[in-house]
Structure 1
Amino acid sequence: MIRSSHASGSGGFSRMLGALEVGLVAVSAVAIAAIMLVVTLDATLRYVISSPLTWSYELIGLYLMVAVFFLALPDTLTHHGHIAVDIFQRLIPFRLRHLLLGLGYALSTWIMTLITWGAGQRLTTAFLRDERIAAVVPWPTWIAYLLVVVGSAAMILRCLARVYGHLASAATGREVVDMPPPPTEAGPEEI
């Protein structure tokens, strides 16, 4: 998130984006809870009355796992939860480090844009053709594509905020964007 008050308009944008991310991660958490409930119910019915849910695998695989993954992506980026190789980061000069990070996030924005565009194309086709999976419950496929589009679009917005923050940091020589905490050594109690 943008720290500096001099970044005109970006503070409000970052707050709105943060609120969106909190909402998306809340839906992701509900999807995790739903997965646990469906799996528990399915196993209970399977072993108690020998009548498992016939639709649980498709519901979980088509909708719930997609929601868990894609809707949590931008919030995970905001909190620096993605995998990063940052052991040498502090050795790179400040302006060059931010320039490289800005370029990296610009590339990430482009990749996420391609993912969003492709999922959007599939969403439109699946919706217009009323595509459904071939299963006991013919779940519509467009909902899964919608989840991908929403999560990826929010990720694009977060990446753009990072591009701006890192390039502004490189240009001004002041840290305008939150940086991940420095790596720490795990002690025996943390392993």
Structure 2
Amino acid sequence: MLKIYNKIDQFLAYLSSFALFIMMVLIVANAVLRFFLNKPIAGVIEFTGEYLMVFVVFLAMSFTQKNGGHVKVELIQRFFSVRVKSVFDVLVKILSAGIFLVLTYTSFLLFLRHVNQGIHSISSIAYPLAPAVLAISFGSFVMFIRLLLSIFIEKIFNNNIKTNDLEM
């Protein structure tokens, strides 16, 4: 099961990377067309901010967590013992998991509202926003699962192994 979850995580990271690539291409094309032809691409700024950036951030969160890539503030923690650090780490992961569970639920309700009401962007190309909101919900759910896995795996192996050390 962990191998399947890691494959899903890897796939989402690839989708996030692809969204970043598309975002780069659109922004560069927009800048070139604006500078040389004075004809920017309509809606590029809105589309990259409301759509692509959401995919870049939320689809890669769990993968980044697994690989220890999130920023940690360890200013105070360096003064604590290993045991206190371990307890603090678990508490932060539990609190984070709770926040991501709430975000999953509320963003899914927002997704349903967007679908039912047909809410579109107010930009010049008026694209539907529901897929971006669904990406927030799905990415948050995957991150919630990753945090739970991290807590349980580290506790099962008595802190001798971190989640990203496992070949899942």
TM range (shorter): 0.7 to 0.9
1:86 positional shift? 4.0
Deviations 1:28-86 (A, max 9, x none): 11111111110111112112222111121121011101111111111111111111134
Matched to 2:10, the amino acid is: V
Give 4+ residue runs of structure 1 displaced > 6 Å after superposition.
none
For this pair of structures, how many residues does the alignment match? 164
- Counterpart pick for 1:158 among 139, 146, 151: 146
CA 90–79 in structure 1, closer or farther in 2 if over 3 Å, else same:
farther
Q: Is 2:11 aligned against 1:23? A: yes
- Counterpart pick for 1:106 among 94, 109, 112: 94
Q: Is 2:77 aligned against 1:92? A: no
Where structure 1 has 5 or more consecutive residues not aligned to the other structure, the ranges are: 1-11, 181-191
Structure 1 CA distance, aligned partners of 2:78 and 2:138? Answer: 32
1:136 positional shift? 1.5
Higher helix share: 2
CA 174–69 in structure 1, closer or farther in 2 if over 3 Å, else same:
closer
CA contact (8 A) 2:43 2:125 kept: yes
CA 83–101 in structure 1, closer or farther in 2 if over 3 Å, else same:
same
- Alignment RMSD, CA only? 2.1
Deviations 1:97-135 (A, max 9, x none): 433322221111101011111111100000111101222
Percent of residue pairs identical: 21
Q: Is 2:160 aligned against 1:175? A: yes
Structure 2 CA distance, aligned partners of 1:103 and 1:47? Answer: 51
- Counterpart pick for 2:29 among 41, 47, 55: 41
TM-score between both structures, scaled by the size of structure 1 = 0.77
Where structure 2 has 5 or more consecutive residues not aligned to the other structure, the ranges are: none
CA contact (8 A) 2:67 2:164 kept: no
Matched with 1:72 is 60
Q: Secondary structure at the match of 1:43?
A: helix
